[in-house]
Amino acid sequence: MNYFKKPPVDGGAKKGKKGETLVPEIPGAPTVAQFMAADCWPDGEVRERATLIVFVEDGAFKVCLSEKNMQATLWATSATFAGLLEALEDRLTADAPDWRRAKKFSKKP
């Protein structure tokens, strides 16, 4: 069963055959776990697995979920580290998640 939806952001995802998907378990955040591990969209389109960055800023824990194929990010904040994945789960399962266009950084020569 898929819990997440493909973000409505233009990108370079490639069509391909459905691959095998890891089935991790994260208590309280099943959608986050599935989104991180899935190598294809629910419609079978191949995707590169997402990345998750966690950091502390201004006294709060912050997390950035990066959807590489669509070049989009989804952010969440929590006062506690334990609440961080739950906050991200809430954002990811919202009717209209607040996906943002990922910033492109260039490497300096």
* Tally of CA atoms within 13 A in the half-sphere of 74 that contains its CB: 30
Do residues 29 and 93 make contact, with C-beta atoms less than 8 angstroms apart? no
Put simply, whether the predicted model's pTM sits higher than 0.75 gets the answer no
Instruction: Dig out the tokens for 76 from the structure.
Output: 């969440």
Strands 100-101 and 51-57, sheet pairing: unpaired
pLDDT tens, 34-90? 888 888 888 888 888 899 999 999 999 999 999 888 889 999 999 999 899 999 999
